[in-house]
Structure 1
Amino acid sequence: MSRYRLGTIVFAMGALLSVAAGAQDYPTKPITLIVPWPAGGSTDLSMRAIADSASKVLGQPIVIDNKAGGSGTVGPATMAAAAKPDGYTIAQIPITVFRLPLMQEVSWDPAKDFTYIVHLTGYTFGVTTSAESQFKSWKDVVDFAKANPGKVTYATPGTGTSLHIGMEQIAAMSGIKLTQVPFKGGAETNAAVLGQHTMLQADSTGWRPLVDAGKLKLLMVWTGARSPNYPDVPTLKELGYPMIYDSPFGVAGPKGMDPKIVAKLHDAFKKAVEDPAVIATLAKYDMVPNYKNTEDYKKFVVEVTESERKVIDTLGLAKK
């Protein structure tokens, strides 16, 4: 055997052993978890609790990096384009990552550009209005919108989010026209409706402190059953809309991650959503664990993409 060929084989074996050792020793430094929403919102706070618990299992800190914008897609898209698949950069994956490519040209392919790790939980969504608003119920909104087409404005955390799509479905079923005002996240939508810059807010439970303080009024929730925190507030189904919206989410990394590293991350995050302290934090925002393992999460991505395609087509929002 030639020295060149022998050297090539030795080098290749060394590289393979190095990769294997890397996966075996992982993690050896802090992990960055991209949260594609502003700091202080319900997603940010819940992901911080989950990350803190998972970091104790992994033995390394998980550092939150807030990259807001693009209806929750800027962070994952940045990761997919630039991060190494070494397990040290991962991201929360909102449902807009699957939906937005159906609506417009984007830089990522959800079927090819991510390594899906674990599915975690979902949201309680609701529609609020200022406590000083003329609207005391959802019926008041519908009646006003029928008399004033397009004049009812609502704040969302971005175009293409579940809040935007859900509100457009509700409007279509009600025979009314509503006007969306997109923002980057819950802090901004709270400010918009609180200051009556928009008439309504459609968002997850980052509004809860303001509702509890009597500054905002909760008109509806989008869960299957009434919230135990707001037993007097009707669900979508009770108002005549046969829908449940909880926009479930999980965690993924860039494409090409080592399955052994994926397994370590999966196990740590699974233990995190079983942690009583994490469950208590999620409960503050009406969120409950919705665990799916890696394989089931991959299947879910395919299923939710197809179901979203049908909704987008029905609403006439599909890209041309």
Structure 2
Amino acid sequence: MAKVTKIRPCAPSALPLRKGKEKIMKRRLALAAVSSLLYVILIPALSFSQAAFPSKPIQILIGYAPGGSTDVLIRALAQESKKYLGQEVVIVNKPGSAGSVAAAQVAAASPDGYTLGASPSSTFTVNPFLQDLQVDLINETTSLLSVAKFNVAVFVKNDSPFKTLKELIEYARQNPGKVTYGNPGVGTRPHLVMAMAAAQEQIKMNLIPFPGDGPTVTALLGGHLTAAGCSAGGWVPHVQAGSLRLLAVAEEERIDEYGNIPTLIELGYPHSLPLVVAVYGPKGLPEPITKKLVEAFDKASKDPVFIDVATKNSLLAKKNIFREDLKNFLIKEKASTGEIIQKLGLKK
């Protein structure tokens, strides 16, 4: 009988699998090499880009005409910040709508750090209630820091019979409609604090708006008003010259240079509405650029030249407010201002 040889089935060859694994490994190695190359190329480029900022002049838009308190102060800040930024900082005046025109342009600018804005905080806290704005200025900008604060005061001519605010209030109570109080515009802080005081005392006082601090003070000095209120840039030179007398300051604390003058809060009117000078940029500023700008402007605000300008205009703040804290400050003050404007029945 013939011997039958059994043929065993061959096991699948491992060769194709080995070749497949080799291809996968080669592909992974190639991808890793490309990734490493991109890292080597791109990371230094990004680092260089951030380190090089700024590589050209920076613009700061101011929503008011040249010569005002904000303009004078920010020009001093720009001058001092050059040595920390290594580039010119150019002031561009864009007056209109109490600062809203300039702020809207900053909000619409490219977030590269070369277009910034500087404004009284009222642009963010008051204007939205009195103007038809197309943009949320707080949410569509990057809060950098505050560099000063406005000191608002209520005052009379030096030859006025009124020595205190209480005397003025009592006269207004006994003579309804006879007291005229000048202010730099409807919705401005000097207007709102006195309107709330009159409402609290249930007295009738004629609140007369003027186009700015200067015309307000001029009208009072000319004998056309009983009293007036405005920021320090308007009243400081005349108080120092002896032609105006302060009755009260609309601040949370007394002003160091005029420590004998009480605050409205001390006198029973709890509506100070603090007002700071804010520096800001477009929404979405990269962190390295934001950090560099904040550090430069903070250092500039501590230089003797800037401090001298701020002190002479009674704008010096005891401390700056930074970034998220500044944004939260604006949000809080906007809410407080909105309540006051609603109570007073003011409309757009």
User: What corresponds to 2:100 in structure 1?
Assistant: 73
> Of 308, 315, 319, which aligns to 2:344?
315
Name the CA distance, whole Å, in 2 between partners of 1:193 and 1:183: 11
Give the unaligned 5+ runs of structure 2: 1-40
Other-structure match for 2:298: 270
* Alignment counterpart, residue 261 of structure 2, candidates 222, 226, 233: 233
Pick from 191, 196, 203 the counterpart of residue 169 of structure 1.
Answer: 196
Alignment of structure 1 residues 243-262 onto 2, 5 Å: 243-262=271-290
> How far apart, in 2, do the equivalents of 1:48 and 1:299 lie?
26
In structure 2, the CA distance between the partners of 1:230 and 1:20, relative to structure 1 (3 Å rule), is same
Matched, 1:41 2:68: yes
Q: Counterpart of 1:250 in 2: which secondary structure?
A: strand
> Gaps (5+ residues) in structure 1?
1-13
The residue number in structure 1 matching 2:23 is none
Tell me the TM-score normalized by structure 1.
Answer: 0.83
Is 1:214 matched up with 2:234?
no
Task: Tell me whether 1:297 sits opposite 2:326 in the alignment.
Answer: yes
Amino acid at match of 1:86: D
Aligned to 1:89: 115
For the residues of structure 1 that align with 2:216 and 2:91, how far apart are their CA atoms?
A: 22
Asked if structure 1 preserves the Cα contact closer than 8 Å seen for 2:119 and 2:278, the reply is yes
* 1:271-286 pair list within 5 angstroms: 271-286=299-314
Q: Aligned-pair distance for 1:271?
A: 1.0
Partners of 1:181 and 1:65 in 2: CA distance: 31
> What is the CA–CA distance in structure 2 between the aligned matches of 1:71 and 1:156, rounded to whole Å?
14
Residue 185 of structure 2 is matched in structure 1 by 158
The answer to whether the 8 A contact 1:155-1:189 is kept is yes
Deviation at 1:71, TM superposition (A): 2.9
Instruction: State how far apart, in whole Å, the 1-side matches of 2:81 and 2:255 are.
Output: 28
CA distance in 1, matches of 2:46, 2:216: 45
Mapped to 1, the partners of 2:226 and 2:45 lie a distance apart of 58
Contact 1:273 / 1:289 at 8 angstroms: preserved in 2?
no
CA contact (8 A) 2:185 2:191 kept: yes
Q: Deviations over 1:242-286 (max 9, x none)?
A: 343431231111223233222211111111223243233322233
Give the 3 Å change call, closer, same or farther, for CA 88–199 of structure 1 in structure 2: farther
Displacement of 1:165 in angstroms is 1.7
The alpha-carbon deviation at position 33 of structure 1 amounts to: 1.6
Determine the C-alpha separation between the residues in 1 that align with 2:43 and 2:189. Answer: 43
SS of the counterpart of 2:258? coil
Please tell me the residue identity of whatever aligns with 1:146: R
Structure 2 length normalisation: TM-score? 0.77
Shift of 1:193: 2.2
Give the whole-Å Cα distance in 1 for the aligned partners of 2:204 and 2:46. 56
Query: Shift of residue 179 of structure 1?
Result: 3.2
Q: What's the CA shift string for 1:126-149, capped at 9, x where partnerless?
A: 012233445443234223322443
User: Aligned runs of 1:195-210 on 2, under 5 Å?
Assistant: 195-206=222-233, 207-210=235-238
Amino acid at match of 1:138: L
Q: Which residue of 1 aligns with 2:150?
A: 123
Aligned AA (2:74): M
Q: Name the CA shift for 1:80/1:183 in 2 (closer, same or farther; >3 Å).
A: farther
Amino acid in structure 1 at the alignment position of 2:153: G
Asked if structure 2 preserves the Cα contact closer than 8 Å seen for 1:122 and 1:248, the reply is yes
In structure 1, how many angstroms separate the alpha carbons of the residues matched to 2:98 and 2:179?
21
Shift of 1:101: 1.3
What residue in structure 1 maps to residue 135 of structure 2?
108
Alpha-carbon distance, 1:50 to partner = 2.0
For 2:45 and 2:203, the matched residues in 1 are separated by: 61
Would the alpha carbon gap of residues 197 and 247 (structure 1) be closer, same or farther in structure 2, given more than 3 Å must change? same
**Could you say if the C-alpha distance between residues 258 and 309 of structure 1 is closer, same or farther in structure 2, counting changes exceeding 3 Å?**
same
Q: What CA deviation, in whole Å up to 9, does each residue of 1:78-116 have, x standing for no partner? A: 3334x3332222111322222221344223212332121
